[in-house]
């Protein structure tokens, strides 16, 4: 019994003096225990039964945590770095960059300023994905949420992806184009089918605004009719000019065409009772817009002329 007590006292003394835990003695009159730096294989703060598990000082204001004698994650005054696979069992709300929201499961918030050396992104997915031999469909981003409707009230819209109006704060930079969704190109791969930039496999497709499939610039200088090669036409004029008819070879009934005034000198003529093929039947009188970027949406009628569907400003 006495030998056991003596062994316990000796072990405790060795821990305090640092023989087992890399610890310095307690400074009298303080509440601190000062540790030597340690290493990943021999951390300064550890466990008697598991000596390669614990933490150690990597450098100034930099602490590392080790497991199995290998650094697993470390932090300093600006960065947290981990080599582990992360599993969070909490269902949220979670937040990165600011306070969480009770209406959002994962929120990316806060103000971020890029280094300005390349392109800037709020969220970027750039991993390398290698499918397994037995994998079927493969996707860089896969979305399949389950929506549970409430017992009452109204949900105006349920959407897997919802892109809302975005605020652009004007500055000194020149902006060429903006887009809520931009696809640079389709993938390039050897396939038995085709490489699609967009593939809508089933269901209705709804577009409430103009749909552009390429664009064509038309100078009306000295002409009143032209042959369209695109579904989006931008009119330019040298002096006052008028567009009377639009000809598209082989066009089908129901074809939609958007005509944009790129110049205030351009006028689209109106034929309320179209008699000529390819004539334009506007909802009102002839339109010279009065402002650049006004868009007239036309539909090919079974009678061979164009009927105005809508009018908007781009």
DSSP class per residue in 46-89:
EETTEEEEEEEEEETTEEEEEETTEEEEEE-SS-EEE-SPP---
Q: Angle 76-78-83 (CA atoms, 0-180°, nearest 5)?
A: 65
47-79 pLDDT, tens digit per residue, is 999 999 999 999 999 999 999 999 999 999 999
pLDDT band at 2 (very low <50, low <70, confident <90, very high): low
- How sure is the predictor about 20, in pLDDT bands with cuts at 50, 70 and 90? very low
User: What backbone phi and psi angles, to 5 degrees, belong to 5?
Assistant: -60, -40
End-to-end CA distance of the chain: 92
- Backbone φ and ψ for 3, nearest 5 degrees, come out as -65, -35
CA distance 94 to 105: 6
Residue 69: how many CB atoms within 10 A of its CB? 13
Backbone φ and ψ of 10, nearest 5°: -65, -40
pTM to 2 decimal places: 0.61
What domains does the chain contain, in order, with CATH numbers? Answer: 2-82 (no CATH), 216-313 (2.60.120)
Judge contact between 241 and 266, C-beta under 8 A: yes
pLDDT for the residue numbered 64:
96
């Amino acid at each position: 019994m006495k030998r056991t007590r003596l062994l316990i006292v000796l072990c405790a003394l060795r821990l305090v003096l640092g023989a087992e835990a890399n610890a310095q003695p307690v400074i009298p009159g303080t509440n601190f225990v000062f540790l030597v730096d340690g290493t990943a294989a021999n951390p300064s703060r550890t466990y008697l039964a598991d000596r390669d598990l614990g933490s150690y000082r990597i450098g100034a204001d930099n602490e590392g945590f080790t497991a199995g004698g290998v650094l697993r994650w470390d932090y300093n005054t600006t960065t947290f770095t981990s080599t582990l696979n992360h599993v969070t069992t909490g269902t949220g709300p979670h937040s990165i960059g600011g306070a969480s929201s009770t209406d959002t499961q994962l929120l990316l918030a806060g103000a971020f300023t890029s280094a300005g050396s390349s392109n800037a992104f709020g969220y970027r997915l750039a991993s390398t994905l290698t499918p397994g031999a037995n994998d079927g469909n493969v996707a860089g981003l896969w979305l399949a949420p389950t929506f549970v409707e409430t017992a009452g009230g109204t949900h105006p819209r349920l959407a897997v992806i919802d892109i809302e109006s975005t605020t652009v704060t004007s500055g000194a930079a020149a902006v060429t184009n903006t887009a809520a969704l931009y696809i640079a190109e389709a993938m390039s791969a050897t396939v038995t089918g085709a490489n699609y930039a967009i593939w809508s496999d089933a269901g209705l497709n709804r577009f409430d605004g103009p749909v552009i499939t390429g664009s064509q610039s038309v100078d009306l200088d000295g002409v009143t009719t032209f042959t369209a090669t695109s579904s989006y036409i931008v009119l330019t004029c040298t002096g006052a000019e008028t567009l009377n008819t639009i000809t598209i070879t082989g066009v089908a009934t129901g074809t939609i065409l958007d005509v944009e005034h790129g110049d205030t000198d351009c006028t689209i003529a109106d034929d309320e009772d179209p008699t000529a093929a390819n004539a334009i039947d506007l909802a009102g009188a002839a339109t010279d817009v009065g402002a650049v970027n006004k868009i007239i949406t036309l539909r090919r009628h079974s009678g061979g002329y164009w009927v105005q569907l809508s009018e908007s400003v781009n």
